[in-house]
Amino acid sequence: MKASPVLAARRPVIVLSGSANRRDPHRALGIAAPAPLGSERAAMDPLLTAGEVAGLLQVSTAWVYAQTRAKKIPHVPLGRYVRYRRSAVIEWVAALEQQSSTCVAVKLGDR
């Protein structure tokens, strides 16, 4: 059975050879190229689930939920769902790290 010319014209064709595709592999695969830095799309961070945050921080999901209930970890409430902005979680960890390193300072007195 032969495809009609109308249907054949609608099929996407991906060509992986050619100089244009070597310069822009995203176009050859039919996907959007990464946004340049400073653009609005680059500023939008993906929202993560509690399981993804737990994987990122290498802790249990229960710990993430407990920190969320205690309002210690930055989160975005979406009705009955809770999501976490990746950049906010990373900044939060950096602030905790900075805070813990300043608390470790020990004053050594003269002996």
pTM greater than 0.85: no
Say which residue the tokens 């064709």 belong to. Answer: 13
Return d(Cα 24, Cα 41) in angstroms, integer: 19
Domains and their CATH numbers in the chain: 1-34 (no CATH), 45-104 (1.10.1660)
Residue 67: strand, helix, or coil: helix
Question: Which tens digits make up the pLDDT trace of 51-88?
Answer: 999 999 999 999 999 999 999 999 999 999 999 999 99
3-state SS assignment for residue 85: strand
